[in-house]
Amino acid sequence: MFGINRLKTWVLIAGLGGLFVLVGGALGGRGGATTALVLALVFNFAMYWFSDKIAIATTRSKPVSEQEYPGLYRIVRELAETNRMPMPRIYVSEMLQPNAFATGRNPRNAAVSVTRGILQILDDRELRGVLAHELSHVANRDILIGSVAAAIGMSITFLARFALWFGHGDDRNNPLGAFGLIFAWILAPLAAAVIQMAVTRSREYQADESGAILSRDPEALASALRKLEAAAKQVPVPASVSPAEAHLFIVNPFRGRQAAMSLANLFSTHPPTEARVARLEEIRRQLG
């Protein structure tokens, strides 16, 4: 299992790139396709650069001192040292919904935030498992990977909308014919969204795996995920948090609004908790 999720992520991103090339070809012009890609890259890398500030602001997280939260600092410091990364900045959000997230463009600019709710329902061992998962996101450069996937996905959607509103040239010059235009306008953005969400889910699996290895305690993370999944269905999400930020958190804060098994899972930012727990149990067996 180890390493498979990383390979899967880059295969999915390659698939997004291939889809972008197909859409550009279907619309009959490389110039517009290139422009769309450049614009999307600029926008998303700006978001990538300021991702930590944006996430901290929207979740209303506040910096806390070691005197205020000695146990939290102790756990984060131990995990950071084990993972050979700098000590991240530590925040606490007043959100009552139990959750946590890490952000930052690299380990030197990392921040970890936990909500008031998560500190109330998890014991130290479970909290350590969650924080190992979050630090793994930073170590795995998931903000960068997510930005790349978002840039390509946005480019595909931009091209399709541009063609819809401003025309697509001579249909006879389109090598894929009418189907190519339907694909470019309707199916390609849908496929891009599905692949982009699959990239996000793959990174969650990877962070579960890396975090379990870092903490040497997969059972603790599995136990925490069960608690967080149940709580996410009961405690409302603050209005300041938007669905576009759901991928940041260890569990989808909007989980209570989605059916457990439905087509909506294709667009979910997180894998099903049952699947994550099953993988963690397999990791436990492999670690012995």
**pLDDT tens profile 155-183:** 777 766 665 555 544 444 554 455 556 66
Residues ≥6 apart with Cβ < 8 Å to 190: none
Q: Six-digit token pair at 253? A: 């804060």
> Comparing 10-14, 199-203, 213-217, which segment has the lowest mean pLDDT?
10-14
Rg value, the chain, Cα: 20
d(CA 159, CA 163): 6
Tens digits of per-residue pLDDT, 15-31? 766 666 666 655 555 56
Contact at 8 Å (CB) between 98 and 227?
yes
Instruction: Select from 217, 213, 260, 255 the least CA-distant residue to 123.
Output: 217
Tens digits of per-residue pLDDT, 35-73? 666 766 676 677 667 777 878 888 889 999 999 999 999
Q: What is the mean pLDDT of residues 64-86?
A: 97
d(CA 197, CA 134): 19
Tell me whether residue 274 is one of the annotated catalytic residues.
Answer: no
Q: Six-digit token pair at 243? A: 């669905």
Write the burial class of residue 137 (CB in 10 Å: 0-12 exposed, 13-18 middle, 19+ buried): buried
SS3 state at 88: coil
pTM of the model: 0.79
> Which among 134, 204, 209, 229 is annotated as catalytic?
134
Contact at 8 Å (CB) between 102 and 112?
yes
Q: How far is CA 97 from the centre of its chain?
A: 19
Contact at 8 Å (CB) between 162 and 36?
yes
SS3 state at 249: strand
Instruction: Select from 24, 25, 43 the least CA-distant residue to 33.
Output: 24
